[in-house]
Amino acid sequence: MEPLASILIPCYNASKWLAETLESALAQTWDNIEIIVVDDGSIDNSLAVAKQFEPDGVKVISQANKGASAARNRAFQESQGDFIQYLDADDLLAPDKIELQVKLFLDSNLDFVVSGEWARFHQSPTEASFIAEPVWSDMPPVDWLICSWEGGGMMHPAAWLVPRSIAEAAGGWDESLSLDDDGEYFCRVVLASKGVKFCSGAKSYYRSGISGSLSNRTSPLAWESAFQVRELCTNYLLSHEDSPRTRHACAAAFQRLIYSAYPDATNLIKKAEAKVKSMGGSDLKPDGGYMFRFVANILGWKLAKHMQELAHNLH
């Protein structure tokens, strides 16, 4: 019997994109799959869209709005799969994504997690450009987190395939978090494994630029969640290895938050600056395009950030 892969989809007000997402899940070349959608109290047409796919075998669950992490936890509780594929309701999987990753497991063992290629798109997946990053490689858990936090890239939720045994060892999603809840969850998943294996050709598509999406929110609560995630993740990492290299990576994680949160969250930035100092300081440079880097080199990154915000507001 082929192992079962569970595709778990939390959904909140994603009626514009949900059908395309479900079609990409149903199109998987790995035949032994189950698809579970948890509608988290949507106030648009999402639940009706999901129910249109029930004849195709999609299991649809409706619950009061509790947040994406609660929806993912509910989906996991309802699932039976040997492998867990999380898929946000606006993202897409290439048809052979799960098959390639499962076969990588079958050629080895179940004590690691598998990542894959991913790219951003706005309207159509044909826009996606897959550009390799340093984290697109096999690494031990601590090395992978250091690489990511030091600027080596990330994996969005759909890029991963996780053995159920590792998901159970890592524990559920933290329902108290909002912004970057996936960063906290997959930090635990990676550390619960013996390492990350990268599966070349296993592609997923990360829809970006959606107005009002969780990753675009900059409310005080969202920034507080992002800070909490870094506190939790740095504690997890340092509990596995407390060394100059892990502290340097932890400082970089907080420094990146400072660059992102400025100038919106003054009190949080002060707390993050204290964390950077306690970890020994950071030499991480702010991300940005050519014009941002040019202005930052002359006038400093804070003024460059103000000018960037002004230009964004004028568009």
Task: Using a pLDDT cut of 90, give the percent of the chain over it.
Answer: 83
Instruction: Calculate the alpha carbon distances from 234 to 68, 201, 227, 248 in Å.
Output: 23, 31, 11, 11
Q: What is the pLDDT of residues 188-215, one digit of tens each?
A: 999 999 999 999 999 999 999 865 444 4
Look at residue 301 in the predicted model and tell me its pLDDT: 79
> Where residue 315 falls among pLDDT bands split at 50, 70, 90?
low
Please tell me which residue, 297 or 22, carries the higher pLDDT value: 22
Residue that is written with structure tokens 């052979």 in the block: 96
Q: Closest Cα partner for 37 from 83, 82, 85?
A: 85
User: Using CA atoms, how far apart are residues 273 and 99, in angstroms rounded to an integer?
Assistant: 44
Kindly list the structural domains of the chain, giving each domain's residue range(s) and its CATH number in brackets, ordered by start. 5-214 (3.90.550.10), 215-314 (no CATH)
The DSSP bridge partners found for residue 120 are 206
> Where residue 216 falls among pLDDT bands split at 50, 70, 90?
very low
Mean pLDDT for the chain?
94
To the question of pTM greater than 0.85 for the whole model, the response is yes
N-term to C-term CA, the chain: 55
